[in-house]
Structure 1
């Protein structure tokens, strides 16, 4: 049985979810795979410091993160020597497992694997999956066999970076199989307590500040249509308690971290969310009209531009504008239908399956054989 090591990183949940989606599809193809949380594995201390710094930066100064993101388009966020030092700690694991291929779902992992492959003259292929609707140069490294990008429209960036276009395959961002399986909408509406005439709104609350969330929920009081709003609070316990204690004109249900988001998306009339790469791919797969609210400068901002350019989302910068867009989408079926049609055109719900099949065929064509790893 072919063995593949999938290297992710717990810096944003999307990288890990992409890794899990690939593991699921590879298993269906008869491949054995293992997911490695790369930075946690090589240095738990470094990982903790980096993760805490990243989260604090996003919370306290998102504009600063935007500057770092854009500056790192010209020079690497972490020096290559540091990544080389960290990469050496992966060799013992790799030599022990003797994999047939590598998959990277985070740029740091892609870089470390590239360093190891170059220094040790490995022939094992590396496949990098880019998890946003853009291509940041930190993903681009030597010794990568193929890159999987979110959409064909991103190929102009390949020309800008002067990379080999044959290495880039526009197959989408991998999502779990459950997002593309058929569901009974009416049965789910009954399960979630939705009445026949109620509209269903999803608010992705974990990324919205408490003040902004309160304004949004209070603003919904002015909409005369019967509504039921599910607030996805994730791990934000303070927000969960705040929403639970408050009384609203319409039904409002806070939800902690859940693993059946695909079911809520299936019944949703619209979603208010930030435009993370994986979340965007999941919402597109369900063709739910999106209102993007306060995306992070950097990758989420780029994802938002992609969605706006393709007509399947609108972008609200303040809560008053957000309420306006919610009202418009609830009362304007023509616009909603257009957004759904555009989402259907650009969605790639079968990305994980397609990428797994491509990897299988590529490995077979190369007749990849296990070579002694070892190295320096």
Structure 2
């Protein structure tokens, strides 16, 4: 029998993980329907939604996907996304303050709740006929669904899949029937925040993320033009390439622990600057992240989202270092508590820790713990969702007839929506830098009409954002 932590033991775990991964099946015509509500902020929320959709479709269900940002009033969704991005880049201290204050407040506060309430009617109208369950992969969407469920306007089960290892209170709201967690640590945090029914069901990652043998590793390095024999540290910073990525890349190179391979996502300026710094392997958008992970020896990350889960599935040890504000810090703490990733807090520890993860006993233990995530759960998230959908069996309550809102009330609602978005860090920075506030208030006043809600943007399993998910 292979001993604990041995290479043979890791191979056995990897084989078990592959055996338990859901395989595509040829299903009959779907008779049940699930709608997944996500948000195109970064790539992690949409990535989890895409994989859930793939698994549910394989289980014989019809799947629709909705982007919550498409359903915010006056089409302010792009401003929400861009403002959040600008805040992470230019004012991370402000995002940290907002994140911490909203944690202490137990969620988003009254203004953010008002903004989310403006989307409730639109979300309800966007649900296709016959929807048997609704799943959220974004905390704001969970608030919307919980409010609808609690008010009796949504008559089918509402579930939340927790995409992060740390659970901000915004994720937990009354009305959500089931919270699904990848591990016992986020499950405990969700219960502490008041979630009544939390189930540990393991992570959702595409089955292409799997451990590689030596032949596959060598082929992947050739494919990406990487050195065959040097230790490689894969440095990722999400689809936006945010955080002190340049500093980390230079520190990795200079300490000599590994050759940095940096994925800059859509941040082309960062990639160009790294190449000017002499970082030879600075990549932009990568379509084959499973292959790149097979080429690497360790993952260094700063946010703790979907990419970390994919690294666990690929058998990579993970280090959190120089994390972004807010959820980056809380995810690093939660992953360390779970024994899945080491949190490097000092530059002086970088060389020793990365070296230990690549060739030492710590790396073996973390590879084993990461792979075990995919075999420990008794029931996967897609199976939990399928069961809830098939048990519900009632259609969603149709929305009540709408009335035209009087201009004064509409202006008040418009001003409130602007304030909410600024509070949430949604587009405060964008407004400050572009002078868009007056135009936006006018647009909201003219366009804040519940009848103009778009229908679901993705009436098929892949959805509109299926490909826009990496790294």
After TM superposition, the score normalised by the length of structure 2 is 0.69
1:215 aligns with 2:250: yes
In the alignment, the residues of structure 2 paired with residue 363 and residue 214 of structure 1 have an alpha-carbon distance, to the nearest angstrom, of 46
Which residue of structure 1 aligns with residue 40 of structure 2? 10
Q: Does the 8 A contact of 2:87 with 2:95 survive in 1? A: yes
Change (3 A) 1:30 1:181: farther
Q: 1:104-128 CA distances to partner (integer Å, 9 max, x unpaired)? A: 1111111112223333543211111
1:373 aligns with 2:405: no
Structure in which a larger fraction of residues adopt strand: 1
**SS at structure 2 position matched to 1:53:** helix
**SS at structure 2 position matched to 1:369:** coil
Change (3 A) 1:280 1:244: same
In the alignment, the residues of structure 2 paired with residue 200 and residue 44 of structure 1 have an alpha-carbon distance, to the nearest angstrom, of 47
Alignment of 1:293-312 (within 5 A): 293-312=321-340
Q: 1:334 pairs with 361, 367, 383, which one?
A: 361
Structure 1: 5+ residue stretches without partners = none
1:176 aligns with 2:206: yes
1:142 aligns with 2:174: yes
Q: 1:14-60 CA distances to partner (integer Å, 9 max, x unpaired)? A: 11111111111111111121211112233364223322322222122
Pairs aligned (count): 362
After TM superposition, the score normalised by the length of structure 1 is 0.85
Q: Does the 8 A contact of 2:236 with 2:301 survive in 1? A: yes
Which residue of structure 1 aligns with residue 112 of structure 2? 79
1:243 aligns with 2:278: no
In the alignment, the residues of structure 1 paired with residue 253 and residue 188 of structure 2 have an alpha-carbon distance, to the nearest angstrom, of 43
Q: Does the 8 A contact of 1:134 with 1:150 survive in 2? A: no
Q: 1:178-203 CA distances to partner (integer Å, 9 max, x unpaired)? A: 22487733432343345553322212
**SS at structure 2 position matched to 1:234:** coil
User: How far 1:79 sits from its partner (Å)?
Assistant: 3.4
Change (3 A) 1:119 1:155: closer
Stretch deviating more after TM superposition (128-137 or 168-177): 168-177
**SS at structure 2 position matched to 1:127:** strand
User: How far 1:337 sits from its partner (Å)?
Assistant: 1.6
Q: 1:257-278 CA distances to partner (integer Å, 9 max, x unpaired)? A: 1121111112311121113321
Alignment of 1:132-281 (within 5 A): 132-164=164-196, 167-180=197-210, 184-194=216-226, 196-204=228-236, 206-209=241-244, 211-213=246-248, 215-216=250-251, 218-220=253-255, 222=256, 228-247=259-278, 252-281=280-309
Instruction: Work out which structure has the larger RCO, using CA pairs closer than 8 Å and 6 or more positions apart in sequence.
Output: 2
In the alignment, the residues of structure 2 paired with residue 151 and residue 41 of structure 1 have an alpha-carbon distance, to the nearest angstrom, of 31
**SS at structure 1 position matched to 2:204:** coil
Structure 2: 5+ residue stretches without partners = 1-29, 402-471
Change (3 A) 1:217 1:365: closer
